[in-house]
Amino acid sequence: MILSQKLENFVLHCGEMGSRWGFNRTIGQMVGLLVISEQPLSANEIAEALRISRGNVSMGIKELQSWQLVKVIHVPGDRKEYYAPNGSIWDLANKVFEERRKREIDPTLTLLRDSIIEPAQSNEEAYAQEQMQQIHDLLETVTKWSAELQRLSPEQLQTLMKLGSSVSKVIDLKDKLLKK
């Protein structure tokens, strides 16, 4: 499989974005390649397109499966396994958000809860606990908000995003009305 320059640029960019999404460059490239491929790809096709070893592809597939971003497809009469994205772009984004929450936010919330629950032994600890409580509350709010967003359909999410600054205008109006 040979990619056009345009498609190769996209795949390479996905690789660069991989570290920001929570995985390495090769995994990012694999996600990009699978997303833009109309048909499921075999491990050999992925290796050829990305010019990486078959072993790298196998490790990458395992990582993508742990993130639930790829699914295995069997073609009748063919012994090879083929791989495709595990859902729509919205589904993949939700899975990345969910995995990042599990890997990053949940352990931080646990640490903060453990740190806040113990009584402060000094003024310095009391101040630190107040700051940690604020961080905890912010993360809890963001986590609940993102969970609500994940329950929305892609169409509902698009509508919400199109509202954009209109949402802040409604909130400002509500605040003005409450002050009267």
Mean pLDDT of the chain: 92
Which of 48, 64, 85 is a domain's end point? 85
Q: Both 30 and 110 in a single domain?
A: no
Q: Both 108 and 34 in a single domain?
A: no
Instruction: Identify the pLDDT of residue 106.
Output: 95
Q: Both 78 and 98 in a single domain?
A: no
Q: Both 95 and 173 in a single domain?
A: yes
Q: Both 38 and 51 in a single domain?
A: yes
pLDDT, tens digit (0-9, with 9 covering 90-100), for 153-179: 888 888 888 887 787 788 888 788 888
Q: Both 33 and 48 in a single domain?
A: yes
Q: Both 93 and 81 in a single domain?
A: no
Helical H segments across the chain, by residue range: 5-21, 25-36, 43-50, 54-66, 89-100, 106-117, 123-151, 154-163, 165-179
Instruction: Identify the pLDDT of residue 162.
Output: 83
> What CA–CA distance (Å, rounded) separates 171 from 112?
30
Domain that holds residue 116: 89-179
Number of domains forming the structure of the chain: 2
The answer to whether 83 and 34 are in contact (CB under 8 A) is yes
Q: What are phi and psi of 155, to 5 degrees?
A: -65, -45
Which of 52, 85, 118 is a domain's end point? 85
Q: What are phi and psi of 79, to 5 degrees?
A: -80, -15
- Is pLDDT of 111 > 90? yes
pLDDT, tens digit (0-9, with 9 covering 90-100), for 34-86: 999 999 999 999 999 999 999 999 999 999 999 999 999 998 999 999 999 99
Which of 53, 85, 117 is a domain's end point? 85
Read off the pTM: 0.76
